Amino acid sequence: FAVAWATLDDFLFLHSQPLPLKRAGLAEVVKVAVVKDASFFNWLETNASALAVCERDALEYAVEHSALLHASHIACGGDAFELGSSRPLDFGHWAAHYMETMSGYTLGHAEAVSVGMCLDILYSVRKGWLPAAEAERIISVLKTLELPVFHPLLSRRTENGACEVLKGLEAFREHLGGHLTVLMLTGIGWGKDVHEIDAALMEECIREMQEAAGYSVQE
């Protein structure tokens, strides 16, 4: 692997894509804002309605600024080849990757990331790291962008009754080389690395998401 020479934002190609696909990609834009740039998140919040319909100028600014934030972390974060364990750009991804696998890859990556972020946002609140008001702001933006904030796969159980998506933590640990590191939020634009996850508390977060989405326990 090598660090890319450049990031190309082809807006002619971008605007040729279907609205749902363009909107889905905004999940990664929200992700990088909430872990890296509070002022950018404020801009996303202000312009969420324009972004939801993929208004040209707003969409182009969001994509360009997101790309610059991603590239800046890779180029200047001190660990371009991810030899260490801190991977802030993977926020929400431990659950997202596993839900994609559980779905047989019928669930898109961006949609899975949106749901995975919501799960880790609620966990951060329940652990006392993230103010509930800030969590509500982030989830409100995702909803305005018509991105999913729950998926029934979160409620799926294994044959022995365990919450299946939590197997994604072990898969993520292996992906990281054996040492679990998951970014959680302490504020919009700020995070902290944690190395242990309270599975029971994570299940409580899933139930909260399930109830908010109006799904019954059986589902």
Q: What are the pLDDT digits (tens) for 42-69?
A: 999 999 999 999 999 999 999 999 999 9
The pLDDT assigned to 216 comes to 64
What amino acid is encoded at 142 in this protein?
A: L
Domains and CATH numbers, the chain: 19-213 (1.20.1090.10)
Q: What are phi and psi of 165, to 5 degrees?
A: -65, -25
The pLDDT assigned to 219 comes to 43
Q: Kindly give the confidence (pLDDT) of every residue in the chain, 219 residues in length, as a single tens digit, with 9 standing for 90 and above.
A: 677 787 788 999 999 999 999 999 999 999 999 999 999 999 999 999 999 999 999 999 999 999 999 888 877 766 666 665 567 788 999 999 999 999 999 999 999 999 999 999 999 999 999 999 999 999 999 999 999 999 999 999 999 999 999 999 998 888 777 788 899 999 999 999 999 999 999 999 999 999 998 876 544
SS3 28: helix
**Residue bearing tokens 């998140």:** 41
Question: Distance (Å, rounded) from C-alpha 194 to C-alpha 166?
Answer: 16
Q: Tell the burial category of 133 from Cβ atoms under 10 Å away from its Cβ (0-12, 13-18, 19+).
A: exposed
